[in-house]
Structures are given as structure tokens and as C-alpha cells.
A and B are shown apart, each in its own frame.
Chain A
Amino acid sequence: MKKTHIPKLDDFLGGGIPEGSSVLFYADPGVECEAFGYQTLQSRLEEGDSGFIFTNVTEPSSIIYEFEKFGWDLEKKVDDKRVFFVDGSSYFIGAPVTGKYGIEDYSQIEDVVIKAINDVPDGLGVINNLSTLIDYLDDGETVRIINKWNQVANDNKTILIYIFTEWDYENALIEQIKDSMDCLVNLSTIEERVIIGQGFMVTGASWTTPSSNRVLFNIMRPGGVKIFIPKILVTGPFNAGKSSFVKKIAKNSVSVDRMALGQVPTTIAMDIGHMEYKGFNADVFGTPGQERFDLILDILSKEAVGAFIVVDSTAPKTFARAKEMMKRCKAEAIPKVIVANKQDLPDSLSPKKIRKVMNIDQSIPIVPTSLPLNEGIEDAMDALLEILYR
């Protein structure tokens, strides 16, 4: 088993990648995916394996520079002949071809990469990237060539990592590509009108049942792939039941005071807890009082990926305040779920009515809950997960 040393990924893979396996990192357009290939290569090189990078999007010197930005010295390892390049990029833009092997004609690719694979038994090769290859290879050739490479790699005990941006190709082609791989890792966006986060999840592995967890990440320079625990905000008008809701979804929540640096530094009381639900891990921040909402968002800013806005279904007068908070979430592109609480009480308005009265778009879920009766809590969490991973 070869470890990637990408946080959480080795766990999801049941320890690592077996020698000779093929791994497809397939990403939504907009997600940075090559870091996964590069980081895995870096980890393997550090542990004494050899490797190569096949590139068709950028010259080897740029890749060395990218590694530098991550804080990894690839140049030295190239000089030590522990890793080499297959330069499938330079020739086509009129730049001098560098690297151990160069490609000046796409008909050469299949054989040259096979040579490269044979040069690194028990090592690792990164193919960056598959998307560009599809257009340059004749129809049907892409899948055949990938299968050939995977077979040679398997015989040679070389791990092959493919970087693939899943543009809208024909479904059949994508299925064939995926079928030819031992392992599939999906890199996806979290979007609310704009991309607010990215996550990875193993969706297939021939040697283990992959964990069904998805984890959010950032690419740090320096650092590489870093997991981050997203923050979920629980807020709403006064007395809607926020603290209770936080307690229901997050174990061991505590009340803390946080410094907020607005115009005047203030402290804000918050409930903080950790939620783990269906593989989704998040830190929950609840606002127990009538706190300055914008200050809270400032604290959470970059890492808030979702918000529960809890409203008292029996208090329509408070809906205006809830709407204000929603507007602010919209401006920060934070997905939200409205929790229509206190459904057990006699005067409670139904979610349908609430939607009408508050004039809320169909795309925003309104989930009825009754906290004393423990009803609707899982539905609310499901609704949030659904938006996040749409």
C-alpha cells in the first residue's frame, strides 16, 4: 500500500493505493485538481519511490515552479534522476522541449508514456491531464490507450494517477474512462450561485469499500491539500429556538464569548459545537441572542458554508428579521435552510404558509421542526447536505 499523505484520503482508501493501481481524480470544472496528483507524487518521492509527470498543459519548468510554491523541491529530485518529465506541452506552443521524453506528435504519446511507465517500476506516474488528451487523440483511442497504460502499469507495479476535469463530455466516454480505473476520487464544488468551497470523496476503489465521506479542502501555497472543517451557522430571530437547535445537531456544544472586531471591538456570545452527520463534519456556531449578525459573519467569513435560520412558526412578526438575515447570507453566497420551529404549538404556520408570507424562493428549503418532540431535525440536516452537495 502506498500512502498519498493527503489528509483523510489514505483513510478513505483503506490505507493507501496498492502498487500498480490506476487512480482517476475527476473534478468539476473550477476545482483545483492537479495538486492531488502532485502531492501524491511528492509523498511517494519522499518515501524513496521514483516517478514521472506527463504534462500536456504546461511546461516542466512551470511545474517545478508550482512545486516550489507548495514548498516542495522537485528540481533537486529531477537532478537526482528520481523523477522525470514527459513533456507533451512545449513543442505545441513553440517552446523548447525539456524533460527526459518529449512529444512532438500526438501519435507518439501512447508509446512514450509506456516507456515512462516501464522506467519507474513500483513507482508512480501522474498524467496531467486527461481532459486535453481526449481532443487530441482520435475517437475511441483515448479509452484504448488508457486501458493499455493501466495494464502496463499494473504489470510494472507502477501507480498511475490521472488528472481529469469533467467538462461536458459524452456520458458514454466518461463511463468508459471511469470503468478503466481501479480507483475514482471525485472533486466537486460547493456552490451557492458562486463556488464557495470544494470537496473530495472516493467514489470507487477496486481493493476496498471506500468510505462514503466527503471532506472539504483548500489548496494552500505552501502546504498543498489541506482539509478544513466547514462552519455552519445557526441563527434566527429572538426566541426562535436556536440554542436548542444547536444542542440537537451538535454534540457537546458550549457557550463562549468571541471577540468581534467591528468598528468597536465587542464580544459576542455564541454556542459552538461539532456536528457529524452522514459523513459530513462541521463546526456549528449558534448565536443565542440578538447579536449583530454582520459581525458574526465577519468572524466566520471564509469558512461558513451553510446556515440554518431558525424561525418561530408561531411568531410571524419576527419573519422580517429572519429575511434580513437571509439577505445577508445571500450576499455572502452562503447556502441556507429555514428551520420552521415550534411546529408542535397550536398557532404554528405551515412551511407552505411561511414561504408565502416571507416570499421565499422555492430553491430555499423550509423544514418543519419540533425540537421537544425531536421531529424534523434530521430532515433539516438532510436539506442542508442536499444543497451543499447538489
Chain B
Amino acid sequence: MIVRIASGISGFDELTSSEDNLALKLGGFPENSATLIYGPPEVGKSTFCYQFTYQGLTQDEPCLYLTTDHGIQDIYDTMKGIGLNLDDYLENEMLYVVDAVSSDMEVEESDIYQRSSVHNPTDMLVKVSRVARSISQKSPRLRGVVDSVTTILESNNEMLIVRVLKTYILRIKEAGGTVIITYIEGSADSRTETLIKSMVDNIIKLDGEKIIIEAMKGMGRKEDAYRTTDEGIVILHDEQ
């Protein structure tokens, strides 16, 4: 019996629940697992992450968000744009951000907001590990996002990043976390890509039109159509 947590993406939980469990609404991401979301650029991977994060926040699950392409202001605005308001959660210190993008000093660093750099993977790992550990002392569950590992790979020795990613996944799981990692297909050496795919538990591809669950604990390959709407990603599960 694999415990799953609600994804926050409309239609995803239905897609990932087995037929007999449909009525029980037992779909979603396997708890304490690592999922790779990959595909071409601009297909909705970050949106997926926002929705996943927000779902956790509404369920009292803190989220640790490592962002490499969009700074915190961007994320806040984009999420607001699809109806996900972070105000309360920022106030209640439920969302922790490690921002490897913004170098503007407007937002002050705090317990829930730290800056880092994609050129310093060690620093990112240290910060993320520290936060994960402190969250785990207060909460049995947490969600983690790495958006995206591609940007980190681009700025560093790939093998180093593979090791850092492995360490990150181990630590986040140790802290009780369920994590999503985004990646642009083909952006790294094929060996690196294979290594990354072998380090996660589940692999999901978004190609702009279809969401393909290539591997997921407890289920076989599945796919469906999806659309990006002004409420985020919607998986068209019931449509024929």
C-alpha cells in the first residue's frame, strides 16, 4: 500500500490512482519520493511546481523551494496570477525559499528566504540541508522543489551536480520530504541524464500537450492530455 500525497494539479490525482482506489481518491505523488519532471522549455514545469507547492501549503506541509530561474518576486507574482496567493503562508513561515537567482537586495534575507548562487552548488546544498533539517524538527512532512536542475548543471561540472543532487535527495527524504525536480530534456550529457533519472523514484514528462507518467511507484506507464490555463495546469482526464 503506497501512501500518496495530493499533487495540487487538477486531474493528476485521478490519473495516478488505480481503478479500485478511484473512489477513495488515493492518487497523487508517493509520499517521501523524488519525482523528475522533464520536457522541453516552456511546457509548464514551473507551473507544476507552483501548484504542487501550494497544495502542500494548504495542507500544512511546509515547502522548501530552491529556485534557479525565477526570483522570489517573480514566483510570487506568477502564482498570484493563477490564483495561488502566498501571503498567509509567507506570514506563517511555511514557505522557505532558497533563491539562487535574484541578486537584487530588495528582499531581506531571513529564516524563510535565503540567497545563493547557481555557481556555488555547495552553498545551495548547505542552505537547503540546514533548512530541511530545521523544518523536519517542526513538521513530519515537507515538500521540496528544485526548479530547475538544468540551470545548475549548466554552470558547473555535471558530475559534481549529480553528487550534490543525490545528496539533496537523500537529505530531503531523511527530513520526511516529497520532492519535485525539473529538468530540460537534453540539457546535459546523456550519462548525466541517465544518472539523474536513476536517482529519482518517479519520472514524468510534459511535452506541451501530453503528460506522460513514464515511471511511478506502484503503477505502470500512463499518459493524458493537459492544458495550461489561467488556473494553472489542468489534466484533461475525463475527456475522451
Contacts and interface: CB of A to CB of B under 8 A. Distances in A.
Check whether chain A touches chain B (CB < 8 angstroms).
Answer: yes
* Centre residue among A90, A91, A93, A94 by max chain B CB count within 10 A: A94
Contacts of B125: 94-95
B85 interface: no
* Centre residue among B122, B160, B164 by max chain A CB count within 10 A: B122
B120 to A, nearest CB: 10
Contacts of B195: none
Contacts of A15: none
A277 interface: no
Interface in B152-211: 160, 163-164, 167
A96 interface: yes
A95 B128 CA distance: 12
B163 A92 contact: yes
Interface in A33-76: none
B224 to A, nearest CB: 37
B62 interface: no
B90 interface: no
B163 A93 contact: yes
B121 interface: yes
A92 B167 CA distance: 12
A89 to B, nearest CB: 12
A59 to B, nearest CB: 12
A97 B122 CA distance: 9
Contacts of B163: 92-94
B126 interface: yes
Size band of the A side of the interface?
under 10
B167 A93 contact: yes
Contacts of B160: 92, 94
A125 to B, nearest CB: 26
Nearest to A92: B160
Contacts of A92: 160, 163
A283 B130 CA distance: 54
A94 B157 CA distance: 11
Interface in A87-109: 90-97
Nearest to B167: A94
B129 to A, nearest CB: 10
A182 to B, nearest CB: 36
Interface of B (DSSP majority class): helix
Size band of the B side of the interface?
under 10
A244 B167 CA distance: 63
Contacts of A94: 121-122, 125, 160, 163-164, 167
B126 A96 contact: yes
B133 to A, nearest CB: 15
A371 B163 CA distance: 64
Contacts of A97: 122
Contacts of A90: 122
Contacts of B167: 93-94
Contacts of A95: 122, 125
* Centre residue among A90, A92, A93 by max chain B CB count within 10 A: A93
A91 B160 CA distance: 9
* Centre residue among A95, A96, A97 by max chain B CB count within 10 A: A95
A95 B121 CA distance: 9
A193 B126 CA distance: 44
A97 B120 CA distance: 12
Nearest to B165: A94
Interface string B99-140: 000000000000000000000011001100000000000000
Nearest to A93: B163
A242 B167 CA distance: 59
Contacts of A96: 122, 126
Nearest to B156: A94
B195 to A, nearest CB: 14
Contacts of B164: 93-94
Nearest to B123: A96
A92 B160 CA distance: 6
Nearest to B161: A94
A341 to B, nearest CB: 60
B39 to A, nearest CB: 26
Nearest to A105: B157
Interface in A211-252: none
Interface string A90-133: 11111111000000000000000000000000000000000000
A91 B120 CA distance: 11
Nearest to B168: A94
Nearest to B162: A94
Nearest to A91: B122
A181 B227 CA distance: 68
Contacts of A91: 122
A274 B190 CA distance: 63
A95 B163 CA distance: 10
B158 to A, nearest CB: 12
Interface in A72-90: 90
A94 B127 CA distance: 12
Interface string A249-270: 0000000000000000000000
A94 to B, nearest CB: 4
Interface of A: 90-97
19 contacts: A90-B122, A91-B122, A92-B160, A92-B163, A93-B163, A93-B164, A93-B167, A94-B121, A94-B122, A94-B125, A94-B160, A94-B163, A94-B164, A94-B167, A95-B122, A95-B125, A96-B122, A96-B126, A97-B122
Given A92-B160, A96-B122, 17 more contacts: A90-B122, A91-B122, A92-B163, A93-B163, A93-B164, A93-B167, A94-B121, A94-B122, A94-B125, A94-B160, A94-B163, A94-B164, A94-B167, A95-B122, A95-B125, A96-B126, A97-B122
Closest CB pairs A-B (n = 8): A94-B164, A94-B125, A93-B163, A94-B122, A94-B121, A96-B122, A94-B163, A96-B126
